[in-house]
Chain A
Amino acid sequence: GENVEQHPSTLSVQEGDSAVIKCTYSDSASNYFPWYKQELGKGPQLIIDIRSNVGEKKDQRIAVTLNKTAKHFSLHITETQPEDSAVYFCAASGGYTGGGNKLTFGTGTQLKVEL
């Protein structure tokens, strides 16, 4: 099955700085890589995703890059703001074809944006 590793586990940045979170995956059949943000007491919310036919995707201050050869993908947040503070999870899927999207999550990164 798929295995997703995520680093770092905690990340503290100053407001306005950039934050980078990195993930690696094991299953070469995976072709969908979403990133979720989870605030305290809430469910995970999709912030951006990328599919294996694209190397980079950007949405305002958030960007994701994918290197299929190396099996790793990264989340980049620029001009961080205090409201970016949350736990971020990467995930991967695509190898399962039996119905539904069998996501495997990374271990999570606690991002803290300090004033």
Chain B
Amino acid sequence: DTEVTQTPKHLVMGMTNKKSLKCEQHMGHRAMYWYKQKAKKPPELMFVYSYEKLSINESVPSRFSPECPNSSLLNLHLHALQPEDSALYLCASSQASGNTGELFFGEGSRLTVL
């Protein structure tokens, strides 16, 4: 199984809502990532977890809160978002050994903030 599964595929939320994006992989990978991608732009790294510990936070606003409950799951909790946060949110995973492992991406969760 070489899949990274993201749910939901689409999410519409108001600026006062609280919602979560979920990501799951069963490849035994110990590094997991959240990326944000705006239309016609490259993915931008948000967070990296290595062995369930946060190793990178790319100065992401606190309205985005990541969580890694176990080695297979990664969540992104969303609260008080702004319309400019509307984007495709991509989850990825890689083997944690070394810093040049292949990243496997999910299909993404398309978020619209009204």
Give A96's nearest chain B residue, CB to CB.
B99
Would you call A100 and B102 a contact (CB within 8 A)? Answer: no
Among the 9-residue stretches B13-21, B43-51, B75-83, the one with 4 or more Cβ atoms under 8 Å from chain A is B43-51
In the complex, chain B residues whose CB is within 8 Å of the CB of A34: 102-103
Please indicate the chain B residues that have their CB under 8 angstroms from the CB of A100 in the complex. 31, 33, 48-50, 55-56, 94, 96, 99
Q: How many residues of A contact B (CB 8 A)?
A: 28
B99 touches A102 (CB 8 A): yes
Decide if B42 touches A99 in the complex (CB within 8 Å).
no
Residue interface mask A58-82, B partner, CB < 8 A = 1: 0000000000000000000000000
Known: A31-B100, A43-B92, A46-B104. 10 other contacts (CB 8 A): A32-B100, A42-B108, A51-B100, A96-B56, A99-B96, A99-B99, A100-B99, A101-B94, A102-B56, A106-B42
